[in-house]
Structure 1
């Protein structure tokens, strides 16, 4: 880190500390207001990304169902929220309920800053079979994904047709054949591989996702197992594609956004990308005809396919003075109706397996993606690992 970056990092830490001190009142979460209501705080980056008033409306529903509890929203951009939580974890002033990224969980859990949700579930006789996924550290759950943004395969219908490919590929051989055919048919690349070291999530979303799609794992007993047959075969598969020249140029400097722009402009035939970009692609190029399908699996694999995802996760502060009330908010947000509403607002898929977001009835592509989501399982083995970022 350069001297200048150290200065900026120090300034950010000071700013984050100020946010925590003003937002948390120096304690482990909220307090009691003049009317005797317990005030709990929910810190997250979600509100700025949702329609105006949407998250507040959901909190109003919670307050109506839970007299005597009020919720204060502490909202900010993703990076600012992380800085606030890092400082709160160090000072014991973390808000009662926190929005979490899976990459943060291990550090917070090891610091004792976030509560053991497995213990809270047991204490409250909570049925965790309703949860689509959980993020664990040392065998205990510390984060539950509230909504998930999954990464399916996008395919350009016209480029596939011009290359003589009748349907989106469903296995690795079909994908490799389609990528070669698209590349040979014209000016577009078969696929893209954003592997810039500035944003190392590329190896997660673009490479390991194919391992998970075939039911594989890069871990053994919770530890890295990066030389097992599944990982090795996945890496060799992409090396073969790279040697065949089917990737868009600049793979090792390309970022995810660059890949999306190339696909949107018809210069890439297939890509693995987040559904969060679906609306942007449609708005940027209304004439683009494309399809969504499950990630191709190993030839002959017929089991459930892991689906890479990013999520808005939920956790509870270990230092909260109102852990009982915090648990009630957690339980509300993960309930069937409230979780469906949150997912609908976010245009994401719910963390409760029984929840159905309303947009799947009105959007054919999203309906197809939801079917893929329900047929598989959320898979991201980086969540919960040390220094996962």
Structure 2
């Protein structure tokens, strides 16, 4: 699944009760309604979201109504685009000079507009930005080779490790002390293979760009114009995985295009470990109610990955003060907290860290996982460059598969991947 779409798809998949405007606003007092960008907040402004209708219509209308009430005379036109083809729609709007004043853009959708200088540097316009939003969320809208921050982080998610405690116990491992790094994971996988007779796997996915990043590999040049992950450190990581694959610690079909995925193997009881978002156990309770109670969570290994949606402001807006104030309002702590209570996502404001709904578990394994994910967000970062689109990641995955199968040397595969990806960047 394409990571830039992860949060949008999670939102679209969750049925929600209507909020009807209750609980909206920002109890922290940092809504930035008048302060962001300076100037008088008045007149008409447009706001475009991505696939929020009809499930979140009541919520969004409540947010907008509250903003208009706070600023008498302001009129907000809310546009919502379907999920499919959204990136193409935004590019078409930009090319035609009809980009909305405030537009919902994940970082990879924002990048081409930032390259064309079509998005406002909200950090320059809003001095409180970095003080009020989590660092990783802000950094997600900084692009190599381009000055500024090109969006307010809106809602976030990250990955958590999930373990089948029943299987770990059965095969001699302690579910209260699951593996915390790759070496421990491989050692535990070896134990599971031995004790299960090869019927169950612990490791069930091949490495990717995020694993390279967590190994300290620099994925791109400082100017964002070329990939640089063909390093000795990346080759060593592939060598480690190739040895594990040769030893039978991963499923044979993990290298194929038809591979079911580690989460599906986890759900079926064939694998004892997977990674997923902070609310995975809640959905698992519906998909596999007998497995859900047996699952325990732990923090992601290394730096937690960050998945981000945000609101950008058009540089061409004729109502800059109101556009900035609206982006601030939609993404403030109160409105984000209300949204997160309807969906499987987390807020991006620092003030949200004091919200017990996110920071305290109710004692269930699902509650524990939610807290693990939320507390991880303070240190979470986007590990994959926004330039790594689906086509580029396909090339990388193909070369990694060749390296793990032994059909190519690790450095050779990485050199090939970098060369091909860099050609694709120039096209």
TM-score of the aligned structures, taking structure 2 as reference length? 0.69
Q: Trace 1:1-389 onto structure 2 (pairs within 5 A).
A: 38-48=43-53, 51=56, 53-121=58-126, 125-132=127-134, 133-134=137-138, 135-137=141-143, 138-166=146-174, 167-186=177-196, 187-193=199-205, 207-213=208-214, 217-223=218-224, 224-253=227-256, 258-275=261-278, 277-288=280-291, 289-297=294-302, 306-356=303-353, 358-361=357-360, 362=362, 363-374=367-378, 376-383=379-386
Deviation string 1:169-225 (CA, Å, 9 cap, x unpaired) is: 11221111122222333322222227xxxxxxxxxxx53333444665423424432
Task: Determine helix, strand or coil for the equivalent of 1:161.
Answer: helix
- Correspondence for 2:10: none
Deviation string 1:326-354 (CA, Å, 9 cap, x unpaired) is: 10011113323223323333322221122
Task: Determine helix, strand or coil for the equivalent of 2:187.
Answer: helix
Is residue 44–residue 76 contact of structure 2 (8 Å, CA) maintained in 1?
yes
Task: Determine helix, strand or coil for the equivalent of 1:372.
Answer: helix
- Correspondence for 1:201: none
Q: Distance in 2 between matches of 1:45 and 1:255?
A: 30
Deviation string 1:218-240 (CA, Å, 9 cap, x unpaired) is: 23424432134543343333333
Is residue 50–residue 82 contact of structure 2 (8 Å, CA) maintained in 1?
yes
Is residue 306–residue 380 contact of structure 2 (8 Å, CA) maintained in 1?
no
Q: Say if 1:351 and 1:229 are closer, same or farther in 2 by CA, change over 3 A.
A: farther
Deviation at 1:246, TM superposition (A): 2.1
Q: Distance in 2 between matches of 1:131 and 1:271?
A: 29
Is residue 263–residue 275 contact of structure 2 (8 Å, CA) maintained in 1?
no
Q: Say if 1:249 and 1:61 are closer, same or farther in 2 by CA, change over 3 A.
A: farther
Deviation at 1:107, TM superposition (A): 1.0
Deviation at 1:83, TM superposition (A): 2.5
- RMSD, aligned α-carbons: 2.9
Q: Larger % of strand: which?
A: 1
231-240 or 347-356, which deviates more: 231-240
Unmatched runs of 5 consecutive residues or more in structure 2:
1-41, 394-427
Deviation string 1:118-137 (CA, Å, 9 cap, x unpaired) is: 3322xxx3341322222212
Deviation at 1:145, TM superposition (A): 2.5
Q: Distance in 1 between matches of 2:50 and 2:311?
A: 12
Q: Say if 1:168 and 1:77 are closer, same or farther in 2 by CA, change over 3 A.
A: farther
Q: How many corresponding residue pairs?
A: 331
Is residue 226–residue 232 contact of structure 1 (8 Å, CA) maintained in 2?
no
Task: Determine helix, strand or coil for the equivalent of 1:366.
Answer: helix
Q: Distance in 2 between matches of 1:316 and 1:154?
A: 37
Deviation string 1:25-65 (CA, Å, 9 cap, x unpaired) is: xxxxxxxxxxxx73322212252485552222222222222
TM-score of the aligned structures, taking structure 1 as reference length? 0.75
Deviation at 1:147, TM superposition (A): 1.2
Task: Determine helix, strand or coil for the equivalent of 1:292.
Answer: strand
Deviation string 1:249-290 (CA, Å, 9 cap, x unpaired) is: 422345897432221121111122233644322210112121
